[in-house]
Amino acid sequence: MLDALPHREKRPAPPRAPVPRPTGSREPIAADQLTIVPANQATAEDLEAVFGTRGDTARCSCQRFRMLPKESWASEGPEELAARLRDQTACGNPEAKSTSGLVAYLDGEPVGWCAVASRADHPRLRRDNRIPWMDRDEDKADTTVWAVTCFVTRVGFRRRGISRALARAAADFARDRGARAVEGYPDFVDGGSVGTLDTFADAGFAEVARPGRRRAVMRIDF
């Protein structure tokens, strides 16, 4: 079981170079303007450019649903969590057989991230008693159901449609990797890193449950 994995030793992060904050157009970005690749084809520097070096995204490094019992942002620290993300993505290793997400590029610049992997690979998600399990007959250990758990758009490129393009690409990626279904768990009040209802609906996901006043389960069955 994933929850039984031993606690990992914290690892130092490589030196971080300042990441410039891009500025420019606020025009919507069409999906065909983006190049979206599995994260193992991206570099560690590309990931850092998207996540930044400050704020919640840099502090979490997409580990919210992957932490083991008793782990937290504070207990593990940003350097350890960033190291885990590099391991999970296998960034810089185009020959890797697995990765944990996708990276979007605009004119060669990394601008977005989407986490997509087997639902069973997320220990904290499996421990949640409500989302995504409430009123559903689901096997928490089923590795053929995948989950889209996080979107990050680089500062300077937000609210331009990148997450929507990533959601569509994530569904295709999950199907191509053998998933029989893929889910998302949007917050339809403010979205945040888990995405909005519209982000998933526009990508072809259908609502299958509402486990709370502000959360939905969106799903595509292949």
- Please say if the pLDDT value at position 13 is more than 80: no
Q: What is the pLDDT of residues 66-109, one digit of tens each?
A: 999 999 989 999 999 999 999 999 999 999 999 999 999 999 99
- Do the beta carbons of residue 141 and residue 120 sit within 8 Å? yes
Domain assignment of residue 59, given as a range:
39-221
Model confidence at 11, pLDDT cuts 50, 70, 90, reads low
* pLDDT: which is higher, 148 or 191: 148
| 1 inside domain | no
Q: What is the pLDDT of residues 16-57, one digit of tens each?
A: 444 444 545 678 899 999 999 999 999 999 999 999 999 999
| 15 inside domain | no
CA distance 204 to 158: 22
| 116 inside domain | yes
| 16 inside domain | no
Q: Which residues have a Cβ under 8 Å from the Cβ of 195 and sit 6 or more positions away? A: 148, 151, 163, 167, 184, 186, 187
| 193 inside domain | yes
| 57 inside domain | yes
| 138 inside domain | yes
pLDDT value, residue 218: 97
> Percentage of the chain with pLDDT > 90?
78
Domain containing 79 — which CATH number? Answer: 3.40.630.30
Average pLDDT, the chain: 89
| 133 inside domain | yes
Domain count, the chain: 1
